[in-house]
Structure 1
C-alpha cells in the first residue's frame, strides 16, 4: 500500500496564504490614497484572477518540480528558462535582506530603543541564517511553521480591519472617500506604488512546485489556488479598507510598516501592538521559509538542467536544494552588511523595490509562455483548463502581461524628472540593469560550458 504524502489540500491552501499574503506591504499600498480601493479591485479582476487560472492550468499540465522554469523553458528554450530562473532566484535574497532590515527595525520599535549598527546587523544576520536553515528542511517537516504563520497573518489582517472600522465608526473616516477620490489618479507617485499591489498577488506557482509532496496534485493544485485565492482576496480587501478608513493617506509612505499602522490607529504603543509585533516578526521569517521551498527548488531544477551553474543544484542527504539555500544566505548577508553604508538610508524600500522588479520581470515571461504552449502543445493533457474561447484566453493572457510591463516601467523609470523621483528610482533602475547583466553573463557562461 502506497504511503500517503504529508502535504494535503488544507496545507496547500494555508501555504498559499503564507506565500502570497504579504502583510508588510499593506501600508505602502494604502499610501496610494483612496484610489487604492479602485486599484485593488481592478487588479484582482484583471491580474489576480487570470494569473491564478493560468497558474492552475500550467501547474496541472506540467507537474514537474520546476514550476515557472519548466513552463518558460518548454515554451522558449533553456536559455530563456535560465534567465527566468536567475531573476526568480535573485529576487529572493534581495527580499530576504530587506525583511532582515525590517525585522530589526520592528524589534527596535517594540523595545523602544535605537539599536546601533552592529547590534542591528547581528539581528539581521541571525534572521537570514535562521531562514536559510529552516528553508533547507523538507516541506513535511516545515508545514507546521507555515500553517501557524497563515493563522498569524489572518489574525493580523482581521485585527487591522476590525480596529480600522471601529476607529472610522467612532472618530470618523480619515480620508475623503467621495466618488472622485476613489477614481485612479494619473500622477506618477501614485502609479509607481502599483507594483506593491501586483507583488502582493504573486506566488501561486510556489504551491505548484510542491506537487511532488501532494497526494493528488492535479486535483489539489487548482483547488488550493481557488480556495486560497478567494481567502487572500477577501483578506487584502479587508486590510485595505481598515487602513484606508482609519489612517490619513498623507501619514503613510511607501516605507511605512505594518506596526506603524497599528500605532497610528491606537495612538501609542500598548500590549496589543506588542502582540501584533511578535506575530508580525514570526510571519516575516515564515514568509521567507515558504518562498525558499519554492525558489530553491526552481533554482536547483534549472541547475540540473544546465541552465544555471552547478552550485545551485547541490543537495543534502534529504535531497533538499542546499546549494541555492546557502547562496541565498551569502548574498543576503552581503547586502545586510553593506546596507548601512548605502547613501540612501531608506534601505527597506530600496531593497524591496529592487526585489519587486526582479520578481515582476520573471513573471513577465509566464504569460507569453502560457499562450505559446497552448498553440504548440495542444495535445498535452490539461486536467484544469482556463475557460473561454480564443479571444477570452488572449485577453486573460495579454492584459496581465501589459499591466506587468507598465508597472515595471513606472517603478524604475523617472518619468516626471523631479529630484525626488530621480533619487528614488535611479538606484532601482541601475540595480535592475546590473541584475539583468549579471544574470545574462551567468546564463551564457553556463550554456557555453554545457555545449563544450
Structure 2
C-alpha cells in the first residue's frame, strides 16, 4: 500500500480550472508555448514522402502527445503534493523530495537534480546559440542587420559580435529581475518573456500565410491546406490564439505576488 493521493480528484474544482478571473489562467500561455515550432515544418516537408497525407497526422499525434505529457506530469506532481501548495519555482524538486521520502531513497534527490541541470544546460545552449546563427546567416546573405552581425570570429568561426550583444541584453534582463518582490516573481517574469519573444513572429506569419495563399494560389507547395474555407479559418484561429496568449502574459498571475500591475 502506498500513501494517499495528496490532491482530491473526486471534486470538480480540481479537474476544471477557474475561468472566472483572467489572472488565474495566465499559465495557459506557457502551455501554448509547448506547441510552438510550426516554422520548422517547411524545412522537413521536402524530405517527407507524402507531406499532404503525413503532416496532418503528425500534427494530430504531436498535439495529443504534448497534451498527454502535460496531463500525466501534472497528475503525478499533484499526486505527491497538494495542488495548492506546489511552488512555481521548485515544484518539481518538491515532488522529488516527496517521492524520495516515500520510497526511502534520499540518494534520488541529487541524481534528479543533476539530470535537471544537464537538461536545462542543453536548453540554454539551443536557445542562445541557435537563434544567433540564424541571424548571422540572414545578415550574411542579405545584410539585414549590418556587416558586424554576420561577421565570424577569425579563429573560432563563431558570430562573436552577435553573441556579445546577446550576452549584454540577457545580462540586463537578468539584473532587472532583482527589483522583483520574490524569486517566484522573477522566475515568472523570465518565463513569460520567453513565450512573448518566441511567439510574437507568429502574429506576422499567419497573416502572411493568408496573403500568400490568396495572391499565389497556384504556387507548388509540399503541403497545402485543402479547400477554400480551411485556409481562411485556420490562420485566423492561429492569429487570435497567439494574440490571446500574448495578452494573457501581461496580466499578473494571482498565485504570485508581482508587486502590482505597474511594477509587473
- Which bin holds the TM-score, normalised by the shorter protein? 0.7 to 0.9
Q: Distance in 2 between matches of 1:282 and 1:342?
A: 29
Matched, 1:238 2:72: yes
Matched, 1:315 2:152: yes
Return the offset for 1:399: 1.8
Residue equivalent to 2:139? 303
SS of structure 1 residue aligned to 2:259: helix
Residue equivalent to 1:258? 92
Return the offset for 1:350: 1.9
Q: Distance in 1 between matches of 2:213 and 2:4?
A: 54
1:12-411 to 2 correspondences below 5 Å: 170-172=3-5, 174-179=7-12, 181-185=14-18, 186-205=20-39, 207=40, 211=43, 217-219=46-48, 226=59, 231-267=65-101, 270-292=106-128, 294-304=130-140, 305-316=142-153, 321-336=159-174, 338=175, 341-346=178-183, 347-386=186-225, 388-411=226-249
In the TM superposition, what whole-angstrom CA distance separates every residue of 1:227-265 from its partner, at most 9, and x where no partner exists?
765654443332133224443221124434422332244
8 Å Cα contact 1:414-1:425 kept in structure 2: yes
Structure 2 stretches of 5 or more lacking a match? none
Q: Distance in 2 between matches of 1:328 and 1:221?
A: 39
Q: Distance in 1 between matches of 2:49 and 2:131?
A: 20
Q: Distance in 1 between matches of 2:176 and 2:76?
A: 33
Q: Distance in 1 between matches of 2:50 and 2:149?
A: 26
Return the offset for 1:326: 3.5
Return the offset for 1:311: 3.2
Return the offset for 1:334: 3.8
8 Å Cα contact 1:412-1:426 kept in structure 2: no
In the TM superposition, what whole-angstrom CA distance separates every residue of 1:297-316 from its partner, at most 9, and x where no partner exists?
33224434344344332234
SS of structure 2 residue aligned to 1:390: coil
Query: 1:380/1:291 Cα in 2 relative to 1: closer, same or farther (>3 Å)?
Result: farther
8 Å Cα contact 1:218-1:383 kept in structure 2: no
Q: Distance in 2 between matches of 1:367 and 1:345?
A: 37
Q: Distance in 1 between matches of 2:262 and 2:50?
A: 39
Q: Distance in 1 between matches of 2:187 and 2:199?
A: 18
Per the normalisation by structure 1, the TM-score is: 0.47
Q: Let me know the Cα RMSD of the aligned residues.
A: 3.7
| Greater relative CO (CA pairs within 8 A, separation 6+) | 1
Per the normalisation by structure 2, the TM-score is: 0.75
Aligned length: 251
Query: 1:285/1:275 Cα in 2 relative to 1: closer, same or farther (>3 Å)?
Result: same
Residue equivalent to 1:163? none
1:402-421 to 2 correspondences below 5 Å: 402-413=240-251
8 Å Cα contact 1:367-1:397 kept in structure 2: yes
Query: 1:241/1:368 Cα in 2 relative to 1: closer, same or farther (>3 Å)?
Result: farther
Q: Which has the higher helix share?
A: 1
User: Which entry has the higher C-alpha Rg, 1 or 2?
Assistant: 2
